[in-house]
């Protein structure tokens, strides 16, 4: 085994402490576009706690992706400009509370070296736990480092992604993003200048700043919430998506959805550019 492979594979960081309040919960919901219609009571439940008629604030399931922002297995020493999200898979063990003190245990699961000039895929896991030590969510992230790779390691094949049904979609919805959406979403934690600095975006090969992949991921969660979950955040058991192309803030994301029992398959595209931005999506409801 190469020393670089062993270095990455051994990364682990346990007992990282975080806390969040309803402010972060509402900011995330607004960051993925909920509340765009200030009279929509279904969406207001995620961004407003109610006053004259009090109601419990709801937590978007994928808030788990930012609840412990900054947690991870350790420094990977990658070329930051060339790193993009590959895939995200979150398993929800119980509904997230509106405010909490939590811990995060992170470790690298596997490293797939695609070879010199082809990059490397690093898969790592973070388990979020409440103060009692009970699991709240398990996040598995796939990170594609386009500027690294070729250091050797075992010859491994990545698992096949979720297969989308071959029939026509059962439902199709359009979700509009705002031109300033990346500037709002970055306040949830991800300050990568790729999403806010035009000069940095051009250096990375994009004509202008792109929307965070994890914001698009949250948008797909929102799509399932408003269609097959009836805005019930507690119904989510798993949400998986593979990132295939970036969204530019202001574009409309079109989601195709298929329902088979408690499994919702989905893909998302930007029709105006003819690109698919999310592939092999899967939500398990229960």
Task: Write out the catalytic residue numbers.
Answer: 190, 195
Alpha-helical regions (H) of the chain:
3-9, 22-31, 41-47, 64-67, 181-185, 198-203, 213-227
Residue 11: which of 165, 122, 146, 115 has the closest Cα?
122
Q: How far is CA 7 from the centre of its chain?
A: 26
SS3 call for 81: helix
Distance between CA 245 and CA 276 in Å, rounded? 6
Smallest CA-to-CA distance from 34 within 218, 250, 263 is with 218
Dihedral (Cα; 254, 259, 265, 266), 10-degree rounding:
0
CA separation for the pair 6, 77 (Å, rounded)? 14
């Amino acid at each position: 085994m190469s020393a670089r492979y062993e270095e990455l594979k051994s990364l682990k960081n346990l007992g990282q402490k975080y806390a969040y309040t309803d402010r972060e919960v509402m900011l995330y919901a607004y960051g993925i576009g909920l509340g765009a219609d200030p009279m929509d009571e279904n969406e207001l439940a995620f961004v407003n706690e109610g006053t004259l008629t009090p109601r419990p604030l709801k937590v978007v399931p994928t808030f788990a992706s930012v609840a412990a922002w900054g947690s991870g297995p350790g420094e990977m020493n990658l070329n930051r400009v060339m790193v993009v999200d590959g895939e995200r898979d979150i398993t929800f063990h119980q509904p997230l509370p509106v405010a909490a003190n939590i811990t995060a245990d992170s470790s690298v699961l596997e490293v797939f070296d695609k070879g010199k000039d082809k990059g490397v895929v690093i898969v790592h896991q973070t388990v979020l736990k409440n103060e009692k030590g009970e699991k709240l969510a398990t996040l598995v992230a796939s990170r594609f480092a386009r500027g690294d790779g070729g250091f050797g390691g075992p010859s491994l094949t990545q698992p096949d992604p979720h297969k989308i049904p071959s029939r026509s979609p059962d439902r199709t919805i359009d979700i509009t993003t705002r031109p300033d959406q990346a500037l709002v979403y970055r306040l949830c934690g991800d300050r990568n200048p790729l999403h806010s600095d035009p000069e940095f975006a051009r250096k990375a090969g994009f004509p202008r700043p792109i929307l965070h992949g994890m914001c698009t991921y949250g948008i797909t969660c929102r799509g399932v919430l408003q269609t097959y979950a009836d805005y019930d955040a507690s119904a989510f058991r798993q949400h998986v998506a593979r990132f295939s192309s970036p969204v530019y803030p202001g574009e409309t994301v079109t989601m195709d959805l298929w329902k088979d029992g408690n499994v919702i398959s989905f893909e998302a595209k930007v029709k105006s550019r003819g690109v698919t931005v999310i592939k092999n999506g899967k939500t398990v409801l229960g």
